Chains A and B, each alone.
Chain A
Amino acid sequence: MGFFPDFPIVTPRLILRPFTRGDVDAVFDYRGRRDVAFYLFDGPLSRDEVATAVQQRVVQIGWNEPEDKIVLGAELRETGTLIGELSLIWRSEEARQAEVGWIFHPEYQGRGYATEAAGAMFDLAFRDASIHRIFARCDARNGSSWRLMERLGMRREAHFREHAIFKGGWDEEFIYAVLRREWRDGV
């Protein structure tokens, strides 16, 4: 069964909402940067690539079938600035699994915005979508990302070494996960 939540999702400092065509410049501001793309599958995106990506995101607001994504922009309530994005991918219907991902503009990192936004996404997945387990992956060198996972109460379940090639070198990867009953003392 599909999942089509209501938006926006409002947190103390942020608004999480679907993307619109008007977001291209704001997204290019961070997705065009080399430092942001360093551990991402894609390299830095050109403005055209960002325009295409934003266009796809406009409709990524629900799940019809496994592998569908919900991608939301995180906007500062105070100024209306788009500062990052989060994705929630439906990985398994039968086992109720979802994968989460996040990308924030470096100028807005280090203030707990990603933690706040991800927390709201976890609430959505566990409470509204009845997901059983959420997992996230990152490069073992991506400390800001795995520290975020640990702040969210996720457990390091995997540490793979040289299991794949990533951007021309051996990949080292962490997988973190949290179960529904472990999230905020069970929801």
Chain B
Amino acid sequence: MLRPFERQDAAHVARYHVLPTVQRYLIRPTRYQEDVAGAVDVMSAQRGLQRPGDTLTLALERKLDKAVIGHVSLRWSDATAGQGELLFAIDPAHAGNGFLTEALTAMMNMAFDHFRIHRVFVRCDGRNHHSAKLMQKLGMRLEAHYREHALFQGEWDEELHFAILDREWQASSKVHPLPIRERVA
């Protein structure tokens, strides 16, 4: 389930928010446990897109046990050109189960259908092959691969940009797989 953050989520968020591997994807990196509550406050205030620059952040709550295992954000980066950026993070303990694919698909539908965004893009670390694969699975195109264009926490950064246009998303999401039916003799 995707829903806005609440203050009480800090305990769950603390499990993954401070991990070094997650830092790269946070709008506001929190290296120390005591900063997590502040980060959750910020995220819980991001509830809509009123003007360019605004961010909408939703918590990924697992249906099974209501645990918060990550978050997805949509940042409205440019109004005239209708650009939106997706950001996300997941607790590595829950990665690889398709939760992010599900959540990002829902965010993408919302970006294009509800917010009428023209192009959605994602930036990710060039060394993070999981993210890159996930973007490709979602039908996004690799548009940029920057090498050593910036420093991140003292090291040369490598960054990938993936993007998809509204018409490409609509075209791809129209192709629904046929429902699997029991064969009747």
Contacts and interface: CB of A to CB of B under 8 A. Distances in A.
Chief secondary structure at chain A's binding surface: strand
A95 B165 CA distance: 31
B147 A179 contact: yes
A92 to B, nearest CB: 7
Nearest to B157: A95
Contact of A164 (B78, B143, B148, B149): B78
A95 B151 contact: yes
Nearest to B152: A95
A177 B146 contact: yes
Contact of B144 (A92, A94, A175): A175
B80 A165 contact: yes
Contacts of A132: 148
Contacts of B180: none
B145 interface: yes
Contacts of B141: 161
A133 B149 contact: yes
Contacts of B93: none
A163 B151 contact: no
Interface stretch (A70-78, A109-117, A121-129, A152-160): A152-160
A164 B52 CA distance: 14
Nearest to B146: A157
A173 to B, nearest CB: 10
Contacts of B118: 162
Size bracket of the A interface: 20 to 34
Nearest to B166: A162
A177 B161 contact: no
B162 to A, nearest CB: 11
A135 interface: yes
B121 interface: yes
B158 to A, nearest CB: 10
Contact of A163 (B119, B147, B150): B119
Interface string B97-139: 0000000000000000000001101000000000000000000
B180 to A, nearest CB: 36
Interface in A134-167: 135, 155, 157-165
B163 interface: yes
Contacts of B144: 157-160, 175
Given A163-B121, A164-B78, A165-B80, A157 B163 contact: no
Q: How large is the interface on B (under 10, 10 to 19, 20 to 34, 35 or more residues)?
A: 20 to 34
B81 interface: yes
Interface in B57-98: 78, 80-81, 83
Contact of B163 (A94, A160, A171): A160
Contact of A179 (B81, B145, B148): B148
Contact of A95 (B83, B149, B161, B163): B149
B74 to A, nearest CB: 16
Contacts of A157: 144-147, 149
Interface string B7-47: 00000000000000000000000000000000000000000
B125 to A, nearest CB: 15
Nearest to A92: B150
B147 A161 contact: no
12 contacts: A133-B147, A133-B148, A157-B144, A158-B143, A158-B145, A161-B141, A161-B163, A161-B165, A164-B78, A171-B81, A177-B146, A179-B148
Interface of B: 78, 80-81, 83, 118-119, 121, 141, 143-151, 161, 163, 165
